[in-house]
Amino acid sequence: MLCHSFLSKTAFCLSSYVLLHASRKTFSNVKVSISAQWTPSILNDSSPAFSPGETWQDNRLFEDEKQATLFLGILDSIFLFSYALGLYLSGVIGDRVNLRYVLCFGLCGSAAVEFVFGTLTEWLHIYNLYLYSSLWVLNGLLQSAVWPCVVAVMGNWFGKAGRGFVFGLWSACASVGNILGAFLASSVLKYGYEYAFLVTSVVQFAGGVVVFFGLLTSPKEVGLSLESETGLGPIETDTDSHKPLMSDEEDEVEVEVYGRRGQSVEQPVEPPAESPQAIGFLKAFCLPGVLPYSLAYACLKLVNYSFFFWLPFYLSNNYKWKEAQADRLSVWYDVGGIIGGTLQGLISDFMGKRAPVLVVSLMLAIGALVGYSRSPNDQVINGVLLAITGFFIGGPSNIISSAISADLGRQDALRGSKEALATVTGIVDGTGSIGAAAGQVKMKKKSNWRIKQNEFGSMRTAGSIVFITPLLVRELRAMWTERRARQRQL
């Protein structure tokens, strides 16, 4: 009975996060239809406007597709910013209010906002920039409530034992959500983009309802308790987790714990209510490793998010494929990301070192990006190249977001202080998302998406490599000295 209830908890948390990502993916998948809805028809210079005006000309929210695209990019950035902000805030809230309520509120509230954003505005024909922006800010704030709650619930139910496996599943969560969202959206897209929003928001709302009726947030609710129950979240107080990653310890299982994290804007749980912030923001920022990882993560996140937000748009604009087809094809990037995250996580676990795996993968990623930008107009080849690119970019992104907690959490300055770890991880994750958000708008200003993606993608990837290099050097040196020490022993 315990086993199946563990399973159901896992299923809850995973599916909440899956639903969230599905609805985010919906937005990126219908960008072509939305920008068509907001602009009048394009004409050759000499031809007169099409009549009747209501069918072809009258929606003039933006004069042409370029401006509409720019605004869509701004919406993405707005969402990311408010999501990052919400992560900081929801930590405070999640501590004081019942987790089940917060989780349900986040899911259902976000679903309602998405419904208003995509479906209601279309049914009522209200197209207003400020309305869209403020709704999307609200959406970001509501969605940010989900991740910390999910992490906290998992922390309540799972002791050290099952955590590696669970976090292993988790990394696939975001990508599964993307895939689900892509399929949902593409199936109903032909009826109108408003129905894509309708379906995903209703599904998400249903998920919220199920959570409300079924979730037990902690074993205490049914009178159970775990041996290593913490009530504090996955950042443990046990000494094992604070052993540095750099040394060859057999508790690589612990390393794995942080080796599997969702690949997007997550943050481990808020600091617990009892102890105050052990380290101030600025101090945490100055710790060794925080800065390089933040910057590297920002770069990588930008590339990842560019693909996430814009891939279907790019595919259907560049190759003139139908939007629904482009949506289905964009799934391959996530598939590659799942495989990449899992495989590279495993490899780096065996090696005990993160940086070499990262750097190799990132270098190959540059090659993959270049290769992808030269992809021919063929769906099969494009899909394969997408999967390869996803493998090499999704993998490091996943590991970096987990390596942060692993490495940084093992520094002497932070030993024994779980609040500080959360702060540090929060800083790195938050900075990463803000950097990614800022980069979105900058990228959209350029018109030729393909070239810019190639350049910027490679630049950003190279940037990540640059930032990780000092850590790589340190790890390689450590590996070398260990090897020599072991040889001398023999």
Partner 1 sequence: MKALCSCMRFVALVLILNLFFQASYQLTELQVCNLCGGIILNSSAVGQFCFFSAGRIDGRCCLRNDTTNDPEHIIGLDLSNCSLTCVQDLQGASTAFMIDLSFNPIVNISDTAFQGFNKLNYMILPQNIDCPGSNTSWEKVEIKKGNRHCEGQRNMCNETGQLSMNCPENSLCAPFGPGFFECSCAENFRGYKCLREGEFPALQVFGPLAASTVVISVLLWATQRRKAKSL
Residue numbers of the site for partner 1 (CB under 8 A)?
A: 5, 8, 33, 36-37, 41, 48, 50-52, 54-56, 59, 98, 188, 190-192, 195, 199, 202-203, 206, 209-210, 212-216, 218, 220-223
Q: Whole-number minimum distance, CB 151 to partner 1, in Å?
A: 19
* Residue 238 DSSP symbol: S
**Contact between residue 125 and residue 194 where contact means Cβ atoms under 8 Å apart:** no
- Answer yes or no: are the C-beta atoms of 158 and 6 closer than 8 Å: yes
How many C-beta atoms surround the C-beta of residue 379 within 10 A?
15
In sequence order, the 6+-apart residues with CB closer than 8 A to the CB of 279 are: 413, 414, 417, 419, 420, 423, 424
Q: Can you read off the two tokens belonging to residue 387? A: 């999967």
**CA 9, CA 341: separation in Å to the nearest integer?**
23
Closer residue to partner 1, CB minimum distance, 270 or 429: 270
Q: Which amino acid is at 10?
A: T
Cα separation of 475 and 353, whole Å?
7
Shortest approach of partner 1 to residue 291 CB, angstroms?
A: 41
Q: Toward partner 1, which CB reaches closer, 5 or 277?
A: 5
Shortest Cβ distance from residue 221 to partner 1 (Å)? 4
In the complex, the smallest distance separating the C-beta of residue 222 from partner 1, rounded to whole angstroms, is 5
On the question of a cis peptide bond just before residue 40, with omega within 30 degrees of 0, the verdict is no
225 vs 481 by CB, closer to partner 1: 225
One-letter amino acid for residue 181 of the chain: G
Q: Is residue 114 within 8 Å of residue 139, measured between CB atoms? A: yes
Min dist. Cβ of residue 394 to partner 1 (A): 30
Answer left, alpha or beta for residue 127, where phi above 0 means left and psi between -120 and 50 means alpha.
beta
Work out how close the CB of 247 gets to partner 1 at its nearest, in angstroms, rounded to a whole number.
40
* Residue placing its CB nearer to partner 1 in the complex, 82 or 119: 119
Complex with partner 1: residue 211 or 404, whichever CB lies closer: 211
Task: Judge contact between 79 and 264, C-beta under 8 A.
Answer: no
Among 297, 278, 291, which Cα is nearest to 237's? 278
Please name which of 105, 93, 94 lies closest in space to residue 138, comparing C-alpha atoms: 105
Residue 44 or 487 having the CB closest to partner 1: 44
Q: Least separation, in Å, of the C-beta of 119 and partner 1?
A: 11
DSSP H/E element including 344: helix 323-351
* Residue closer to partner 1 (CB basis): 42 or 282: 42
User: How near is the Cβ of 346 to partner 1 at its closest, in Å?
Assistant: 33
Three-state SS for 97? coil
Residue 6 CB, shortest distance to partner 1, in Å, is 12
Nearest CB to partner 1, comparing residues 33 and 401: 33
Q: Name the residue nearer to partner 1 (CB basis): 35 or 433.
A: 35
- DSSP assignment of 302-330: HHHHHHHHHHHHHHHHHS---HHHHHHHH
Distances from the Cα of 69 to the Cα of 33, 452, 453, 472, angstroms: 11, 15, 15, 39
- Pick between residue 142 and residue 188 the one whose CB is nearest to partner 1: 188
- At closest approach, how far in Å is the CB of 127 from partner 1? 11
Under 8 Å CB-to-CB from 179, ≥6 apart: which residues? Answer: 331, 334, 335
Closer to partner 1 by CB, 112 or 246: give it.
112
User: Measured between alpha carbons, how far is 95 from 200 in angstroms, rounded to an integer?
Assistant: 29
CB of 50 to partner 1, least distance (A): 5
